[in-house]
Amino acid sequence: MVKEEHLSFGSVDVVELAERYGTPLYVTDENKLRANIRAYKKTFGNTSIGTDIFFAVKANGNLALLKVLAQEGAGADVFSAGELQLTKLAGIPREKILFNGNSKSEDDLRAAVESGVKISVDSRDELRALAAVTDERGKEAAIAIRVNPDVSPDVNPKIATGLKESKFGVPYPEIISICEEVKQYRNIALTGLHCHIGSQILKLDVFGEAAEKMMNLVMQLHDRGIELEFVDLGGGLGIGYSDEDKKIAPTPDDLAAVLLPVLEDRMSSLNLKLILEPGRSIVGSTTILLSRVNTVKQAHKNFVAVDAGFNLLIRPVMYDAYHEVVVANRQNEPASTLYTVVGPVCESGDIIAKDRMLPEVKRGDLIAIHDAGAYGFSMSSQYNGRPRCAEVLVNDGEVDLIRARESVEDLLRAQKVPERLT
Ligand code: LLP
CA of 20 to the centre of ligand 1 (A): 33
Alpha helix positions (H), 280-414? 280-283, 315-319, 408-412
Q: What is the CA radius of gyration of the chain?
A: 23
Whether pLDDT at 261 is above 80: yes
| Span 74-93, pLDDT tens digits | 999 999 999 999 999 999 99
What local confidence, expressed as pLDDT, does residue 84 receive? 98
3-state secondary structure of 44: helix
What local confidence, expressed as pLDDT, does residue 252 receive? 98
Kindly state if the Cβ of 315 falls inside 6 Å of ligand 1: yes
C-beta of residue 313 within 8 angstroms of C-beta of residue 372? yes
- For residue 119, report the phi and psi dihedrals to the nearest 5 degrees: -125, 130
What local confidence, expressed as pLDDT, does residue 310 receive? 98
Query: Atom 24, ligand 1: which residue's CA is nearest?
Result: 375
Is the pLDDT higher at 137 or at 46? 137
What local confidence, expressed as pLDDT, does residue 270 receive? 97
Kindly state if the Cβ of 236 falls inside 6 Å of ligand 1: yes
CA of 373 to the centre of ligand 1 (A): 13
What local confidence, expressed as pLDDT, does residue 157 receive? 83
Ligand 1 atom at shortest distance from the alpha carbon of 100: 3
Kindly state if the Cβ of 375 falls inside 6 Å of ligand 1: yes
What local confidence, expressed as pLDDT, does residue 163 receive? 81
User: For residues 197 and 235, what is the distance between their CA atoms, to the nearest angstrom?
Assistant: 8
Kindly state if the Cβ of 115 falls inside 6 Å of ligand 1: no
Kindly state if the Cβ of 196 falls inside 6 Å of ligand 1: yes
Kindly state if the Cβ of 77 falls inside 6 Å of ligand 1: yes
Whether pLDDT at 155 is above 90: no
What local confidence, expressed as pLDDT, does residue 2 receive? 85
What local confidence, expressed as pLDDT, does residue 156 receive? 83
Nearest to 60 by CA among 37, 41, 43, 83: 83
| Span 266-321, pLDDT tens digits | 999 999 999 999 999 999 999 999 999 999 999 999 999 999 999 999 999 999 99
CA of 153 to the centre of ligand 1 (A): 13
Average pLDDT, stretch 173-179?
98
Mutate to test the pocket of ligand 1, among 52, 100, 196, 251 (most ligand atoms within 8 A of CB): 196
Kindly state if the Cβ of 232 falls inside 6 Å of ligand 1: no
Amino acid at 255: L
What local confidence, expressed as pLDDT, does residue 82 receive? 98
The CA–CA distances, whole Å, from 101 to 121, 122, 195 equal 8, 7, 12
Nearest to 258 by CA among 204, 200, 210: 204
| Span 196-212, pLDDT tens digits | 999 999 999 999 999 99
Record the pTM: 0.97
Whether pLDDT at 159 is above 90: no
Query: Atom 5, ligand 1: which residue's CA is nearest?
Result: 196
Query: Atom 23, ligand 1: which residue's CA is nearest?
Result: 375
Q: Kind of pairing, strands 302-306 and 287-298?
A: antiparallel
Whether pLDDT at 179 is above 80: yes
C-beta of residue 369 within 8 angstroms of C-beta of residue 14? no
User: For residues 45 and 38, what is the distance between their CA atoms, to the nearest angstrom?
Assistant: 10
What amino acid positions are annotated as catalytic residues? 346
Q: 356 - beta bridge partners?
A: 339
What local confidence, expressed as pLDDT, does residue 46 receive? 87
Please state whether 236 falls in left (phi above 0), alpha (psi between -120 and 50) or beta: left
Ligand 1 atom at shortest distance from the alpha carbon of 282: 13
Whether pLDDT at 162 is above 80: no
Whether pLDDT at 1 is above 90: no
Tell me how far the alpha carbon of residue 76 is from its chain's centroid: 11
What local confidence, expressed as pLDDT, does residue 416 receive? 97
What local confidence, expressed as pLDDT, does residue 161 receive? 82
Burial label for 159, CB within 10 Å (0-12, 13-18, 19+), is: middle
Reply yes or no: is the peptide bond before residue 24 cis, omega within 30 of 0.
yes
The CA–CA distances, whole Å, from 27 to 150, 284, 376, 416 equal 38, 12, 11, 34
Helix (H) or strand (E) holding 353: strand 351-358
